[in-house]
């Protein structure tokens, strides 16, 4: 009986950590203050757009960046694409001196997004005139399908962002651009399209409120993470990391963006998050593509555990920052343990331990409630035309969606055990299997 009780108490301990984290994230989101704008003209802006087989989206992305931010330079890294990505960008560069094509060729190419970004970093260093104030130069990484809010540079240059010389990085919010698409799968039927719409919706909820709250909580703990889209970094901060690590972005990292943030804090810079501006990207309407993408993220999270000793001993991390970062590192492991314990609880329940089922019901209610409560918050800020009932149903869908974390954590663990670390980019929604070469999982 004691062993059975311990099996049940351990999930409650995990749940307690989750509830405390959720409460802090929700409070940080709900009570956030508005971001004060700054003067973008005080800084020199350079966009890095890493590409591999991105002909379906890259032209539109470059056009949007140049149209909305005419004073900025756009550096497109063609990682030896098999399609027309390089041809499209080369044509744009011929007509616009602020568009630059960074060509990579195998065998140096296709060794990871981090290496592609490092190639652009090197060429930017050669491009800038000698003696330039590199603390005024800001690099922004935008995915090939990214669309940046036209107000982004005003807010990112504000007094609590790059207007503060101690800020080395800024991460903006992320939204799903196709959240209102009535037919995300135009070649499929009504049922599959309804599922695809819901899948894109919960991804938008995940980033717009849940992840935003998490980042705003991290702003309080001093452990804000950088993402792969909408990631702004001061060039002088990248220089300091390169001096210590030989390169800003780490080779072979599956979460090169988050690792860059860890290095930036370890180097003495602060990172902040701005929820009042955003970059949009395509939500994935295909469950298989989503699981592939999130498995890479989970495996990258496993890789980050090696930084734990440096973070614990660093004078640049506060105690709260250490706890938050270690909690983030432990998430895939917690998912694996919870999955195993869930199986154990089902077995014990089937063997007659009915006395413990009330605890299971309490556990379920406490686990579901926080996800449901994000629904009304999301409706208020991002979907005011939706009904209150719809918001609650979206919250329930977000809870069910969260179970994919157990699947991807298990897949990531198996991949690591098998020594599989190679990945390529996620297939874009506009790409079809018959439309030509496209990068897939390595």
Integer-rounded Cα Rg, in Å, for the chain is 22
pTM: 0.89
> Residue 231 CA to chain centroid, in angstroms?
9
CA distance 67 to 72: 10
> How do beta strands 167-176 and 231-234 pair?
antiparallel
pLDDT the model gives residue 134: 95
Our CA angle for 65, 242, 173, nearest 5°, is 35
pLDDT less than 50: residues of the chain: 351-352, 432-442
DSSP code at position 135: G
CB 117 within 8 A of CB 50: yes
Q: Count of CB atoms within 10 A of residue 210's CB?
A: 22
pLDDT for the residue 437: 43
Alpha-carbon distances, residue 417 vs 88, 238, 302, 326 (angstroms): 40, 32, 12, 22
Q: What is the pLDDT of residues 316-361, one digit of tens each?
A: 999 999 999 999 988 887 777 776 666 665 555 554 455 556 766 7
What pLDDT, on a 0 to 100 scale, did the predictor assign at position 426?
A: 61
Contacts of 296 by beta carbon, 8 Å cutoff, 6+ apart: 254, 412, 423
SS3 state at 101: strand
Residue owning tokens 């919250």: 395
Note the pLDDT tens digit of each residue in 375-386: 999 999 999 999
Compute φ and ψ for 120, nearest 5 degrees. Answer: -70, -40
How much is the pLDDT for 127? Answer: 96
Structure token pair of residue 117: 């970004």
How far apart, in whole angstroms, are the C-alpha atoms of residue 83 and residue 372? 43
Q: How confident is the model at residue 344, as a pLDDT?
A: 60
For residue 260, count CB atoms less than 10 angstroms from its CB and return exposed for 0-12, middle for 13-18, buried for 19 or more. buried
pLDDT at 136: 96
pLDDT for the residue numbered 442: 44
pLDDT at position 433: 46
């Amino acid at each position: 009986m004691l062993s059975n009780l311990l099996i049940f108490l351990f999930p409650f301990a995990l749940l307690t950590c989750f509830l405390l984290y959720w409460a802090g994230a929700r409070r940080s989101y709900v009570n956030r203050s508005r971001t004060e704008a700054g003067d973008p003209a005080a800084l020199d802006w350079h966009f890095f757009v890493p590409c591999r087989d991105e002909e379906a989206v890259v032209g539109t992305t470059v056009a949007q960046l140049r149209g909305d931010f005419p004073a900025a330079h756009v550096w497109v890294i063609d990682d030896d694409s098999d399609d027309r990505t390089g041809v499209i960008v080369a044509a744009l560069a011929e007509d616009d001196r602020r568009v630059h094509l960074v060509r990579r060729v195998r065998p140096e190419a296709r060794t990871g997004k981090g290496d592609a970004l490092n190639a652009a970093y090197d060429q930017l260093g050669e491009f800038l005139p000698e003696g330039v104030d590199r603390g005024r130069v800001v690099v922004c990484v935008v995915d090939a399908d990214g669309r940046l809010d036209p107000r982004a540079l005003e807010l990112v240059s504000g007094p609590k962002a790059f207007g503060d010389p101690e800020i080395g990085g800024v991460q903006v919010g992320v939204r799903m651009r196709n959240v209102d698409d009535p037919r995300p799968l135009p070649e499929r039927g009504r049922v599959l399209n309804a599922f695809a719409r819901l899948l894109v919706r919960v991804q938008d909820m995940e980033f717009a409120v849940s992840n935003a709250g998490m980042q705003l909580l991290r702003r309080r703990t001093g452990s804000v993470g950088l993402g792969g889209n909408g990631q702004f970094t001061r060039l002088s901060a990248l220089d300091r990391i390169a001096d210590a690590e030989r390169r800003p972005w780490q080779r072979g990292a599956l979460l090169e963006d988050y690792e860059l943030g860890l290095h930036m804090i370890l180097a003495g810079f602060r990172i902040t998050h701005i929820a009042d501006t955003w970059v949009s990207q395509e939500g994935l309407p295909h469950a298989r593509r989503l699981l592939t993408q999130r498995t890479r993220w989970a495996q990258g999270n496993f890789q980050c555990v090696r930084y734990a000793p440096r973070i614990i001993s660093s004078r640049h991390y506060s105690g709260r920052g250490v706890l938050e970062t270690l909690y983030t590192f432990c998430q895939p492991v917690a998912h694996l343990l919870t999955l195993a314990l869930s199986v154990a609880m089902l077995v014990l329940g089937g063997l007659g331990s009915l006395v413990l089922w009330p605890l299971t019901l309490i556990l379920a209610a406490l686990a579901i409630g926080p996800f449901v409560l994000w629904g009304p918050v999301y409706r208020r800020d991002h979907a005011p035309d939706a009904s209150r009932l719809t918001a609650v149903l979206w919250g329930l869908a977000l809870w069910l969606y969260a179970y994919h974390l157990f699947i991807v954590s298990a897949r990531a663990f198996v991949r690591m055990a098998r020594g599989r670390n190679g990945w390529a980019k996620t297939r874009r929604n506009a790409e079809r299997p018959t439309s030509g070469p496209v990068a897939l999982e390595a």
